[in-house]
Amino acid sequence: MAQPTDRTVTVAFARGLVFGAASLGVPVDTLLRTAGFDETTLADEDARLTGGTGSRLFAALVDITGDASIALRLAQVVNPIQDHVLSYIFRASPTYGAGLRSLLRYERLIQDVLHSTLEVEGAVARLSYTSDLDVTPAAMEFPFAAKLRWITQEFGLALRPTRVTFRHAAPANLAPYEATFGPKIEWDSERNSLEFESSWLDHPLHTSDATLMRILEPLAQQALESLPKLHAPKDGEKSTMVRDLRFVLKDLIRDGEVSVSQAARILRVSSRTLQRRLQECDTSFASVLDDLRRDLALAYLGESTLNVAQISYLVGFSDQSAFHRAFTRWVGDTPCRWRTGQRTSAEQSHA
């Protein structure tokens, strides 16, 4: 698969990694030389570097230290958003969930190599990262460990993983990973994700400041809109566009503001461009939304104890009868009968 060339990280982010590594005893000149940089590369904090920069730094750190878990140690001393507007936006948010969603929404101000999504399915919340680039295991582990450390130490309410999954293979020494993420880690998985109790999202932040938030969010949005538009790799453009739209729609469904214009604004394209690109993918906005609602409904019905009225609301239907009609169109049965059938089949398979 072709690698996109427009993914970037900020120099400030790279400098944080380099000087964080120095605090762990890694000589700066050795790290830069091994990663293929010189000191002038990190001179302008307002500049951005090619997307492979982070992976090259993490790969160099693993080579120099021989420690596959170096990203976990680095996460203890590096805060990627220290003194950044994202830090203040999180602090000003009304709840931990609102803060985390804002952090993910504007994360491109720091880097756009990794793409994040936050899903809530009943009692389980799942933070996931994907990338269009080939990133090293350490580069993928770092954002999970960094968020755990920063949120817990700065705000006091521990974010405790109930399950963590990584697509890469297990390292030889699991102890540092279990110390960071807990014992429930799955390797060679289908996704890179961190699951936790969704109730954590609803806890209020004692630093909340609605007045400050009204000032900061427009600034973050303006900064986001000033960044160059991202382009998917040619041979992955279709799947990437639909995938990115699904990620956006999950948030919009939850917030009850689903529209082409809203999705286009977040994706930083015009409504007409979004619709044209979806047509090129042999689909449409309505079809992607319909497919997502179906997938969410099936997941909620199969994996949660939520009642049908709650699920109807969570997948974006204000009218429960409309949800019943849509679900019958999707699977040829009512939600209650489908759920009963699934549970009966599961019980028989375990008998």
pLDDT digits (tens, 9 = 90+) for 155-201: 878 889 999 999 999 999 999 999 999 999 999 988 899 999 999 98
CATH class, 238-343 region: mainly alpha
Q: Which of 82-91, 182-191, 263-272 has the least mean pLDDT? A: 263-272
- Give me the architecture of the 8-202 domain, per CATH: Alpha-Beta Complex (3.90)
- The answer for residues whose C-beta is within 8 angstroms of residue 229's C-beta and 6 or more apart is 268, 269
Q: Is the dihedral of CA 288, 294, 295, 297 positive or negative?
A: positive
pLDDT of residue 271: 85
Q: What is the mean pLDDT of the chain?
A: 86
DSSP character at residue 81: T
Confidence of residue 239 (pLDDT cuts 50, 70, 90): low
84 membership: H or E segment, kind and range? none
Chain-centroid distance, C-alpha 153: 21
Encode pLDDT of 292-350 as tens digits.
Answer: 998 888 888 877 788 899 899 889 888 889 999 888 888 788 889 888 877 776 666 55
- For 120, list phi and psi in degrees, rounded to 5: -125, 120
What is this structure's pTM? 0.67
Domains 8-202 and 238-343 share a fold: no
For the chain, the structural domain boundaries read 8-202, 238-343
